[in-house]
Amino acid sequence: MIIAIDGPAASGKGTIAKRIAAHYGLAYLDTGTLYRAVARDTLARGGDPADAIEALKSAKALDPRTLGDPRLRKPGLGEAASLVAKHPEVRNELLAYQRSFARAKSGAVLDGRDIGTVICPEADVKLFVTATPEERARRRYIELKGGGIDLSEAEVLCDIRRRDERDKHRAAAPLRQAPDAHLLDTTNLDIDAAFRAAIDLIDAAMGRAGYAG
């Protein structure tokens, strides 16, 4: 069973995806970490993430064992990741790893921007998780503050809007809801309510598809 979860930054998709994977006993891949790791390695070499040749070099040399690096969650890397993610060559290089992860025997949950549209168009269930930019900025602001990072809520909102624009309007695999994805708007839901709503959508979809349990 493959569950594809897409959505913009700070929509709650990562937390929901992780809990869904634990609930159904599936493997979990946060595909944003791949782009973040490519950005990290490009910057570490003194390269420019906006330069396709530099970013591709990092994508080709990417070591999946480094994907657990906690520094990948740093806010500046989100912006750099969005820049490397624009290059079709980079996306193409990361495709095989994501597809083979998805086809692991036990089944998998993947979250990102193009899982339901490009990586796993055949997924059993697709969710598109979103929330208003203001609510996403509020959540990210609280999270960053808790981690000792001092940015204003207005700065976080500006960063979120810039990334949304870039991720939605790039030519290669832009962020968009797959026609067969279920929309989950978490603007007025806390994380427990959002998780329950996701499980209800998945169970209903699996029931319709004739799966047991």
Tell me which residues touch ligand DC (CB under 6 A). Answer: 9, 31-32, 35-36, 78, 81-82, 85, 112-114, 163, 167
Distance between CA atoms of residues 133 and 160, nearest Å = 7
- Output the smallest distance, CB 213 to ligand DC, in A: 28
CB–CB of 78/36 below 8 Å? yes
Residue 18 is which amino acid? Answer: K
Give, for 109, the enclosing helix (H) or strand (E).
strand 108-112
Closest CA to 7 of 125, 183, 158: 183
Q: Quick one: 149 or 206, whose CB is closer to ligand DC? A: 149
Closer of 4 and 189 to ligand DC (Cβ) = 4
Considering the complex, what minimum distance in angstroms separates the CB of residue 173 from ligand DC?
Answer: 7
Q: Nearer Cβ to ligand DC, position 165 or 200?
A: 165
CA distances from 140 to 15, 20, 157, 159 (A): 13, 21, 9, 10
Considering the complex, what minimum distance in angstroms separates the CB of residue 1 from ligand DC?
19
- Residue closer to ligand DC (CB basis): 39 or 189: 39
Separation CA 108–CA 197 (nearest Å) = 19
Least spacing, CB of residue 39 vs ligand DC, in Å: 8
Q: Which helix (H) or strand (E) holds 139?
A: helix 133-146
How long a stretch of residues is the chain?
213
- In the complex, the smallest distance separating the C-beta of residue 212 from ligand DC, rounded to whole angstroms, is 30
Nearer to ligand DC, 110 or 202 (CB): 110
